Chains A and B, each alone.
Chain A
Amino acid sequence: MRDKQIVDRLTSSFAGVDSDGALHGRLAALAERQGLLDVSYRTVDSPLGLLLLAATGEGLVRVAFSLEGHDAVLARLASDISPRILRTPRRLDEAAQELDEYFAGKRRAFSVPVDLQLAHGFRRSVLEHLRRIPYGVTQSYATVARAAGNPSAVRAAASACSHNPLPLVVPCHRVVRSDGTTGEYLGGPQAKRALLAMESAA
């Protein structure tokens, strides 16, 4: 037998496959138990395409459209929060279900806990205000700026909306331009129009 055959036989003989993900699932559960899992994530299908959901121990920390590039979003979470990130669907089952219900028209408000640590200062005040805009209601950026405590910071309010780490759950899509046009959106202007149409039809 030639050396290469021996090496090939070694590699194929000892190969192990985690085909059903049992090993990965066990690793994630052990990591969570030992407090080593800082960020867990999963993806979920939606009428607006595949969504990435990420959570810390505090709550949902990021919702991302595929337009943002899920790999890039995870890389940012690794540098902004912690690189201890594992795909762990279980921790996000509730959020995934609430989003399903929302898109099915059966849910008007989200109750999963959120972690707003990715937004600071005025941006965070804006997000906190956005969470209080009810389903089917729209506000102008000027109204949001005033409600968040700085009436002259209309552009900053718009910027806070366009950098919202938790679109859909923190409903930045309910903020529109004073002239009635929809304005920008992380998931693209079409997604924003679709959400507003869905909510006003309900």
Chain B
Amino acid sequence: MTVSALMTRTRDAVLPPFEEIVAEHGPVVMRVCRALLGPADAADAWSETFLSALEAYPKLRPESSIRAWLVTIAHRKAIDQRRGAARRPQPAGDLPEIPALDSASGGESSIDDDLRAALDALPAKQRGAVIYRYLADLSYAEVGELLESSATAARRSAADGIANLRKHFSKGART
């Protein structure tokens, strides 16, 4: 889906306080950021995702799927971050101090390196389909839109991705 398709200014929009959005969807967005980028960059991507979402939030149509909207933003942030772009300059001056994050912030469980390597080794569509279907719990239609393909293709990519991960682990078990 396109973010702009979800955006329409409606006068009587009843949106919950943004705090509720962070509380409800923060863990899913973190899972997706960690899977897409790894633990080191996940915290930044998480903050960037929610900042962009906060900026656009008043214009969001209340009936939109908030999770799909946030995951779409995270998907773009991850693409930007991998390209090394999107580092917005921080304004100077008398501004609130931004607390630094230690490397442990945003992730207490250590990522299973073997699993991560196997996931990263998947073809891009399969990797995306596995992350958006199983870690973000999006529908195949939503996954298809994110990956610029159809729901059917997304379903196939997710199944192939899981099958490849299974193959990887059964192979690993034998050696």
Chains A and B come from one and the same complex: yes
Q: Which positions 6-30 of chain B face chain A at CB distance < 8 Å?
A: 14-19, 22, 26-27, 30
Closest chain B residue, CB of each to CB of A12: B109
Counting CB contacts under 8 A, is B170 at the interface? yes
Q: A23-B106, A83-B58 provided; 13 other pairs, C-beta below 8 A?
A: A1-B166, A6-B166, A11-B134, A15-B27, A16-B27, A17-B27, A23-B26, A26-B43, A30-B98, A36-B54, A85-B19, A87-B19, A90-B96
Closest chain B residue, CB of each to CB of A34: B51
Report if A79-B58 is in contact (Cβ < 8 Å); known contacts: A15-B27, A25-B99: no
Interface residues contributed by chain A, number (CB under 8 Å): 45
Counting CB contacts under 8 A, is B97 at the interface? yes
The reply to whether A16 and B42 contact each other, CB–CB distance below 8 Å, is yes
Residue interface bits A74-99, CB-to-B below 8 A is 1, else 0 = 11011100111111001000000000
The reply to whether A18 and B16 contact each other, CB–CB distance below 8 Å, is no
Q: Which positions 32-74 of chain A face chain B at CB distance < 8 Å?
A: 32-34, 36-37, 39, 41, 74
Counting CB contacts under 8 A, is A31 at the interface? yes
A41 to B19: give the CA distance in the assembly, Å.
10
Interface size class of B (residues with CB under 8 A): 35 or more
The reply to whether B101 and A22 contact each other, CB–CB distance below 8 Å, is yes
Q: Which residues of A contact B33 (CB under 8 A)?
A: 16
The reply to whether B51 and A24 contact each other, CB–CB distance below 8 Å, is no
Q: Which residues of A contact B27 (CB under 8 A)?
A: 15-17
The reply to whether B31 and A11 contact each other, CB–CB distance below 8 Å, is yes
Counting CB contacts under 8 A, is B130 at the interface? yes
Counting CB contacts under 8 A, is A19 at the interface? yes
Show 13 A/B contacts (Cβ-Cβ < 8 Å), sorted by A.
A1-B166, A7-B134, A14-B135, A15-B30, A16-B30, A22-B102, A23-B43, A26-B101, A27-B50, A36-B54, A39-B17, A84-B54, A84-B58
A-binding residues in B (CB < 8 A)? 14-19, 22, 26-27, 30-35, 39, 42-43, 46-47, 50-51, 54-55, 57-58, 90-91, 95-99, 101-102, 105-109, 111-112, 115-116, 119, 130, 134-135, 162, 165-166, 169-170, 173
The reply to whether B26 and A18 contact each other, CB–CB distance below 8 Å, is yes
The reply to whether A1 and B162 contact each other, CB–CB distance below 8 Å, is no
The winner among B14, B16, B116 for most chain A CB atoms within 10 A is B16
**B-side interface mostly:** helix
A152 to B96: give the CA distance in the assembly, Å.
48
B-binding residues in A (CB < 8 A)? 1-3, 6-7, 9-20, 22-27, 29-34, 36-37, 39, 41, 74-75, 77-79, 82-87, 90
A20 to B101: give the CA distance in the assembly, Å.
11
Which residue of B15, B19, B39, B51 is within 8 Å of A30 (Cβ)? B51
Closest chain A residue, CB of each to CB of B119: A10
A102 to B46: give the CA distance in the assembly, Å.
40
Q: Which residues of A contact B19 (CB under 8 A)?
A: 41, 74, 85-87
Q: Which residues of A contact B47 (CB under 8 A)?
A: 23, 26-27, 30
Q: Which residues of B contact A41 (CB under 8 A)?
A: 19
Report if A75-B105 is in contact (Cβ < 8 Å); known contacts: A13-B116, A34-B51, A36-B54: no
The reply to whether A22 and B115 contact each other, CB–CB distance below 8 Å, is no
Which residue of A2, A33, A83 is within 8 Å of B57 (Cβ)? A83
The reply to whether A10 and B109 contact each other, CB–CB distance below 8 Å, is no
A80 to B169: give the CA distance in the assembly, Å.
54
The reply to whether B169 and A3 contact each other, CB–CB distance below 8 Å, is no
